[in-house]
C-alpha cells in the first residue's frame, strides 16, 4: 500500500489526476488546492464547472483548516452517520476557486477508508473525490464498470482492488452557518 500512496502523491503534486478507491465508489481525484488540476477533472468528466465536486479530508483538523467555521452539529452528524456522509459547508478556505460552489459552499467528507486517510494525511492537503463516470452516465459500482475514457484520462490508477463493500455514493447534507440543515442525497 505504501508504494501506491507514494506514486499517487507524486502524481497529485504534479497536478495530475488519480483514479482511486474511496470509502464509497472509485473516485477521480486531484489536489483540491490546484485550480488547473480541478479543471482537468471537469474536462475529463465532461461536466460543467458550475456543478460542484466533493473534497476529501483525512481528519477533523484538516476539515477545520478547510472550512472557516465548522458548526458543532457537523461533528454530531459525522459521529451518528451509519454510512459515509458528505457535508456541504459555508465559507471554505484555501481551496481551488473552481471547486467552490457559486453560493460559497464546499462539499467535504472526512474519509473513513484507511487508504484514503493515509493518502490524504501524507499529501497534507484535501483531495477531490468525484465518481469515476462521464457526467450524466451511471456511477460505476465496481472497477470493471469504469469507462475506458476515464481510465485513459487519468495519470495514475491506484493498484488496489478493495472489497466491493459499499459501492454507493455518500449521503450529502447541507449544513449552513445559520443552523439550517438540508438533506441533498440520502
Instruction: Give the CATH number for residue 118.
Output: 3.90.870.10
> What does pLDDT average to over the chain?
91
Q: What share of the chain is helix, strand, coil (3-state, %, to 5)?
A: 35, 25, 45
* Residue 47 confidence (pLDDT) above 90: no
Overall domain count for the chain: 1
Instruction: At 172, give phi and psi (nearest 5°).
Output: -130, 125
Instruction: At 21, give phi and psi (nearest 5°).
Output: -80, 135
DSSP sequence for 97-131: GGGS-TTSEEEEEE--SHHHHHHHHHHTS-EEEEE
Instruction: Note the pLDDT of residue 64.
Output: 97
Per the DSSP assignment, residues forming a β-bridge with 28 are: 19, 130
Q: Which range has the top average pLDDT, 43-52, 66-75, 139-148, 167-176?
A: 66-75
Instruction: Note the pLDDT of residue 167.
Output: 66
**pLDDT category, 163, cuts 50, 70, 90?**
low
Q: What is the pTM of this model?
A: 0.92
**pLDDT category, 176, cuts 50, 70, 90?**
confident
Is residue 174 classed exposed, middle or buried when 0-12, 13-18 and 19+ CB atoms within 10 A define those classes? Answer: middle
Average pLDDT over residues 104-129: 95
Per the DSSP assignment, residues forming a β-bridge with 128 are: 55
**pLDDT category, 120, cuts 50, 70, 90?**
very high
Q: Which residue has the higher pLDDT, 52 or 135?
A: 135
Instruction: Note the pLDDT of residue 156.
Output: 97
pLDDT tens profile 94-109: 999 999 999 999 999 9
Q: Is the CB of residue 140 less than 8 Å from the CB of residue 27?
A: no
For residue 153, give its domain range.
Answer: 2-185
* Residue 116 confidence (pLDDT) above 80: yes
Instruction: Note the pLDDT of residue 181.
Output: 86
Amino acid at each position: 500500500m505504501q508504494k501506491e500512496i507514494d506514486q499517487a502523491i507524486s502524481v497529485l503534486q504534479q497536478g495530475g489526476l488519480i483514479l482511486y478507491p474511496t470509502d464509497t465508489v472509485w473516485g477521480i481525484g486531484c489536489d483540491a488546492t490546484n485550480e488547473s488540476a480541478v479543471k482537468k477533472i471537469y474536462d475529463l468528466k465532461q461536466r460543467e464547472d458550475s456543478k460542484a465536486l466533493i473534497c476529501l479530508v483525512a481528519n477533523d483538523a484538516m476539515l477545520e483548516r478547510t472550512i472557516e467555521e465548522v458548526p458543532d452539529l457537523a461533528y454530531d452528524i459525522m459521529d451518528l452517520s451509519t454510512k459515509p456522509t458528505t457535508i456541504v459547508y459555508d465559507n471554505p478556505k484555501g481551496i481551488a476557486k473552481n471547486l467552490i460552489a457559486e453560493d460559497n459552499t464546499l462539499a467535504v467528507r472526512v474519509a473513513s477508508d484507511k487508504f484514503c486517510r493515509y493518502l490524504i494525511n501524507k499529501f497534507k492537503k484535501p483531495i477531490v473525490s468525484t465518481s469515476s463516470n462521464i457526467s450524466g452516465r451511471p456511477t460505476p459500482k465496481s472497477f470493471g464498470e469504469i469507462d475506458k475514457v476515464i481510465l485513459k484520462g487519468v495519470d495514475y490508477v491506484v493498484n488496489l482492488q478493495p472489497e466491493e463493500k459499499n459501492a454507493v455514493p455518500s449521503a450529502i447534507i447541507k449544513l449552513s452557518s445559520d443552523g439550517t440543515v438540508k438533506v441533498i442525497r440520502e
